[in-house]
């Protein structure tokens, strides 16, 4: 199927597209829906939306991005914003960052800025630095000849920074750089393929992205099956953008996902880690999680967790994961810090808890049982998603401190309170209390301990029963949601 056959679109959005094209197409002499063929893919004539017909103004663009855009323009190059920032601006949202594209080659871009450096091996990009802010500038990219060839992935591009490895960049660049049209069609979704041109402040739409933005539709550019096979991560991106934007997946975009989900197993775990953070630290983790499960994608990120979720315990579904994600969303939306250590601790807790229980049943002490369970779950998880040591170590601490939070007699509470992971462990305890897995009284004790002075703390410790357990453990039970979101970080 042609990449942009309008027949693939819903009747409603088709109407919008045609109307837009007729009123705004400024390329004379071409029929409004002309298709240009380049190799395997079909490219639409662009639709140009002039500045007075869209809502983007320069006031919404970061000063640094404007500096880069203007410098490129003054040097005579094409100079445009592209991707998520244009999409978000068109929706009246604040972009996370600003990506610039140009027809200038990396060396040419570098010469324009003092603080520029070339990064990436296969596809070289330029980072222009302004203090802590970095504006990424890419040269228009060609459609890969060979479909099995690398798709665009920012992580792989930025991996292995190499500023000076210029053996013969010209020869390499020849294959990877392309026209603006080619750059547009190798992007993933129509709404991600919009450009904002600093020359005339117009928005350029090659793929029907504006109509899809208006209709709230997420649509793959080209044939979804092919595009997911080229890069299975696009299935995760589809779900992420649908959740973040509140968009519906267009029918053909959604259709192959379930069947192709197993392709995620071939994605390098390091790239999966980056994607997991984008999926769950973007402020829409709960919706994203639900969509991931709906499409059968979640099991390729967290297979052991998926298994735990499938069986119900004492008749009640396991609820820690969605609770944790709701809390993470609340924190992200309050601009509070979040850490992957806590995210993974929550995601993997249920399998760890189950395995720990099995070890204990076989007679192991709880310390060793936790160690063994954590060891095994982490090893399995790493086959799918990398968890760098700097996160897996604190993750395991959060788990092992759960037992210690119950043992508070003598100096134990004071020592635990000094632990640098205390706060995260306490936050994790609050989550477990929310789902009825740990005792409210224990959480209340620790909440109070943190607020009172030294003398009261001593009194609190003395008051604990000699067993130091803070009361009997509750069985898991269903609880109504408490308004208070526990914090973590």
Which residues does the annotation mark as catalytic? 97, 99, 188
User: Residue 188's binding partner, choosing from Mg ion, ligand ATP, none, with beta-carbon cut-off 5 to 8 A by kind?
Assistant: ligand ATP
| 60, 153, 366, 412: which one binds ligand ATP (CB under 6 A) | 153
User: Residue 486's binding partner, choosing from ligand ATP, Mg ion, none, with beta-carbon cut-off 5 to 8 A by kind?
Assistant: none
Cβ pair 124, 163 in contact under 8 A: no
**If binding is defined by CB under 6 A, does position 83 make contact with ligand ATP?**
yes
* Contact letters for ligand ATP, residues 344-373 (x by CB under 6 A): ------------------------------
Written as six digits, the tokens of 112 are 């324009």
Smallest separation (angstroms) from ligand ATP to the CB of 228: 10
Q: What is the CA radius of gyration of the chain?
A: 26
What are the C-alpha distances in Å from 184 to residues 19, 105, 349, 359, 420? 21, 17, 42, 54, 48
**If binding is defined by CB under 6 A, does position 96 make contact with ligand ATP?**
yes
The sign of the torsion formed by the CA atoms of 223, 250, 272, 140 equals: positive
User: Residue 340's binding partner, choosing from Mg ion, ligand ATP, none, with beta-carbon cut-off 5 to 8 A by kind?
Assistant: none
Smallest separation (angstroms) from ligand ATP to the CB of 153: 6
Nearer to ligand ATP, 221 or 341 (CB): 221
User: Residue 408's binding partner, choosing from ligand ATP, Mg ion, none, with beta-carbon cut-off 5 to 8 A by kind?
Assistant: none
Q: How far apart are CA 130 and CA 116, in angstroms?
A: 9
User: Residue 20's binding partner, choosing from ligand ATP, Mg ion, none, with beta-carbon cut-off 5 to 8 A by kind?
Assistant: none
Residue bearing tokens 């088709």:
14
Specify the stretch interacting with ligand ATP by CB under 6 A; choose among 60-68, 145-153, 295-303, 417-425.
145-153
**If binding is defined by CB under 6 A, does position 122 make contact with ligand ATP?**
no
Q: How far apart are CA 109 and CA 120, in angstroms?
A: 15
Q: How far apart are CA 435 and CA 477, in angstroms?
A: 7
**If binding is defined by CB under 6 A, does position 152 make contact with ligand ATP?**
yes
Q: How far apart are CA 178 and CA 386, in angstroms?
A: 33
**If binding is defined by CB under 6 A, does position 192 make contact with ligand ATP?**
yes
Cβ pair 415, 367 in contact under 8 A: no
User: Residue 234's binding partner, choosing from Mg ion, ligand ATP, none, with beta-carbon cut-off 5 to 8 A by kind?
Assistant: ligand ATP
Smallest separation (angstroms) from ligand ATP to the CB of 193: 6
Three-state secondary structure call for residue 379: helix
Helix (H) or strand (E) holding 42: strand 41-44
User: Residue 156's binding partner, choosing from ligand ATP, Mg ion, none, with beta-carbon cut-off 5 to 8 A by kind?
Assistant: none
Nearer to Mg ion, 134 or 460 (CB): 134
**If binding is defined by CB under 6 A, does position 188 make contact with ligand ATP?**
yes
| 151, 269, 436, 471: which one binds ligand ATP (CB under 6 A) | 151
The residue ranges that bind Mg ion (CB under 5 A) are 84
| 43, 68, 84, 236: which one binds ligand ATP (CB under 6 A) | 84
How many Å from the N-terminal Cα to the C-terminal Cα in the chain?
Answer: 48
Nearer to ligand ATP, 126 or 430 (CB): 126
**If binding is defined by CB under 6 A, does position 60 make contact with ligand ATP?**
no
Smallest separation (angstroms) from ligand ATP to the CB of 184: 9
Cβ pair 234, 202 in contact under 8 A: no
Count Cβ atoms within 10 A of the Cβ of residue 306 and give its class: 0-12 exposed, 13-18 middle, 19 or more buried. middle
Nearer to ligand ATP, 85 or 304 (CB): 85
Three-state secondary structure call for residue 267: coil
What are the C-alpha distances in Å from 345 to residues 162, 322, 424? 35, 13, 10
202-205: strand order across its sheet: 47-49, 202-205, 194-197, 79-82, 99-102, 133-139, 125-130, 116-119
Written as six digits, the tokens of 184 are 């547009």
Smallest separation (angstroms) from ligand ATP to the CB of 206: 11
Do strands 35-38 and 41-44 pair parallel, antiparallel, or not at all (unpaired)?
antiparallel
What are the C-alpha distances in Å from 38 to residues 1, 60, 179, 183? 14, 35, 11, 12
Query: Would you tell me how many other CB atoms lie within 10 Å of the CB of residue 273?
Result: 21
User: Residue 437's binding partner, choosing from ligand ATP, Mg ion, none, with beta-carbon cut-off 5 to 8 A by kind?
Assistant: none
Smallest separation (angstroms) from ligand ATP to the CB of 85: 7
Three-state secondary structure call for residue 118: strand
Q: What share of the chain is helix, strand, coil (3-state, %, to 5)?
A: 55, 10, 35
Specify the stretch interacting with ligand ATP by CB under 6 A; choose among 59-67, 203-211, 227-235, 397-405.
227-235
**If binding is defined by CB under 6 A, does position 234 make contact with ligand ATP?**
yes
Q: Contact residues for ligand ATP (CB under 6 A)? A: 83-84, 96, 99, 151-154, 187-188, 192-193, 231, 233-234
């Amino acid at each position: 199927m042609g990449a942009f056959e309008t027949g693939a679109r819903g009747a409603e959005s088709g109407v919008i597209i045609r109307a837009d094209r007729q009123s705004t197409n400024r390329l004379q002499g071409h029929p409004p829906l002309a298709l240009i063929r380049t190799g395997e893919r079909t490219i639409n004539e662009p639709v140009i939306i002039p500045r007075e017909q869209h809502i983007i103004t320069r006031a919404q663009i970061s000063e640094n991005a404007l500096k880069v855009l203007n410098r490129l323009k003054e040097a005579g190059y094409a100079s445009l914003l592209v991707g998520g920032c244009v999409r978000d601006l068109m929706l009246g949202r604040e972009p996370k960052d600003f990506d610039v594209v140009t027809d200038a080659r990396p060396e040419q871009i570098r010469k324009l800025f003092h603080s520029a450096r070339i990064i990436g091996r296969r596809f070289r990009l330029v980072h222009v630095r302004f203090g802590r802010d970095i504006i990424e500038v890419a040269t228009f990219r060609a459609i890969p000849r060979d479909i099995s060839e690398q798709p665009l992935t920012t992580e792989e591009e930025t991996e292995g920074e190499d500023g000076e490895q210029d053996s013969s960049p010209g020869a390499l660049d020849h294959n990877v750089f392309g026209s603006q049209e080619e750059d547009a069609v190798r992007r993933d979704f129509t709404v991600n393929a919009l450009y904002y041109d600093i020359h005339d402040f117009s928005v350029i739409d090659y793929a029907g992205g504006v109509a899809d933005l208006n209709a709230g539709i997420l649509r793959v550019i080209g044939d979804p099956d092919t595009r997911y096979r080229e890069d299975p991560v696009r299935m995760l991106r589809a779900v992420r953008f649908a959740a973040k934007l509140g968009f519906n997946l267009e029918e053909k975009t959604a259709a192959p996902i379930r069947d192709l989900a197993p392709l995620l197993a071939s994605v390098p775990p390091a790239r999966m880690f980056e994607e997991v953070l984008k999926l769950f630290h973007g402020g829409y983790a709960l919706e994203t999680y639900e969509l991931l499960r709906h499409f059968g994608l979640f099991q390729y990120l967290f297979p052991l967790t998926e298994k735990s979720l499938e069986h119900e315990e004492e008749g009640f579904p396991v609820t820690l994961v969605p609770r944790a994600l709701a809390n993470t969303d609340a924190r992200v939306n309050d601009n509070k810090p979040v850490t992957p250590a806590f995210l993974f601790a929550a995601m993997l807790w249920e399998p760890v808890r189950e395995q720990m229980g099995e070890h204990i049943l076989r007679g192991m002490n709880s310390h060793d049982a936790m160690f063994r369970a954590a060891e095994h779950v982490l090893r399995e998880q790493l086959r799918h998603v990398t968890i760098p040591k700097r996160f897996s170590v604190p993750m395991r601490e959060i788990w092992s401190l759960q037992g210690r939070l119950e043992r508070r007699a003598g100096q134990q509470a004071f020592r635990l309170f000094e632990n640098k992971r205390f706060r995260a462990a306490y936050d994790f305890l609050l989550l477990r209390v929310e789902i009825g897995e740990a005792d409210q009284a224990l959480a209340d004790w620790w909440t109070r301990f943190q607020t009172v002075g030294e003398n009261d703390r001593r009194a609190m410790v003395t008051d604990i029963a000699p067993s130091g357990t803070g009361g009997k453990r509750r069985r898991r039970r269903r609880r109504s949601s408490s308004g208070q979101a526990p914090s973590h970080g």
